[in-house]
Amino acid sequence: AQTIHQWPVAEIKAVGSPLSLGCTIKGKSSPNLYWYWQATGGTLQQLFYSITVGQVESVVQLNLSASRPKDDQFILSTEKLLLSHSGFYLCAWSLTGGEQYFGPGTRLTVL
Amino acid sequence: GDSVTQTEGQVALSEEDFLTIHCNYSASGYPALFWYVQYPGEGPQFLFRASRDKEKGSSRGFEATYDKGTTSFHLRKASVQESDSAVYYCALGNTNTGKLTFGDGTVLTVKP
């Protein structure tokens, strides 16, 4: 069975500091991968998607970047955090654009 | 661009009540439509989808029918339970790109 793991579970970071969030998918070969952001009490906003290793498309510009270094790994990062980056970050996978399955998320607080 | 509108921001019911959450969409062609449920502190869970006019999706007692004429995909459940309390999201999908556009969500609270 497929599993999706996100790390870390939660982070508290200072404004201006760098950030790296990770996501791994096990049990699925060559899935489509996605990053989402959710403000507290808000809806989900898709940030990036990737259909293959090394290829990432940006959906929304939030001073973040994403990379897919391996088939089963998706990384979200920035060199300089803003207060507005606080929220819940979710990784998701799908097969060929079908329904998406979400990970447990990472709670980010920027102070 | 594509958009999804959920009319109800919050719904409060008692156990065994009938549930309707309204979802209307705006998109060209025949987008895929989805319902997700999110419990506090967790990622959203896929409930079901529909991809064609008049297709019904269902799961866990919830159901919705794709209606292209009224551009709607309303969520219904005949008898809610306290454990159904959660946030429900309607979403519209482009199956070519995998882009999902979510509605604002509906907070369902069910009292015992």
Rounded to the nearest 10°, the torsion over CA A83, A72, B102, B10 is: -70
Walk along chain B (112 residues) in steps of 10 and give the mean pLDDT of each run.
Answer: 94 98 93 96 96 96 97 98 98 84 96 96
Name which of A42, A44, A59 is nearest B44 (Cβ-Cβ).
Answer: A44
User: pLDDT category, A97, cuts 50, 70, 90?
Assistant: low
In DSSP terms, A49 is beta-bridged to: A34, A57
Q: Which two tokens stand for residue A44?
A: 């989900």
Chain A residue with minimal CA distance to B37?
Answer: A102
Chain B residues in contact with A59 (beta carbon < 8 A): 99
Q: How far is CA A101 from the centre of its chain?
A: 13
Which of A30, A32, A44 to probe the B interface (max B CBs under 10 A)? A44
Taking an 8 Å cut-off on Cβ atoms, the answer to whether B42 and A104 are in contact is yes
pLDDT in tens, A7-33: 999 999 999 999 999 999 998 888 999
Question: Mapping DSSP to helix (H, G, I), strand (E, B) and coil, where does residue B55 land?
Answer: coil
Rounded to the nearest 10°, the torsion over CA A107, A108, B2, B6 is: 50
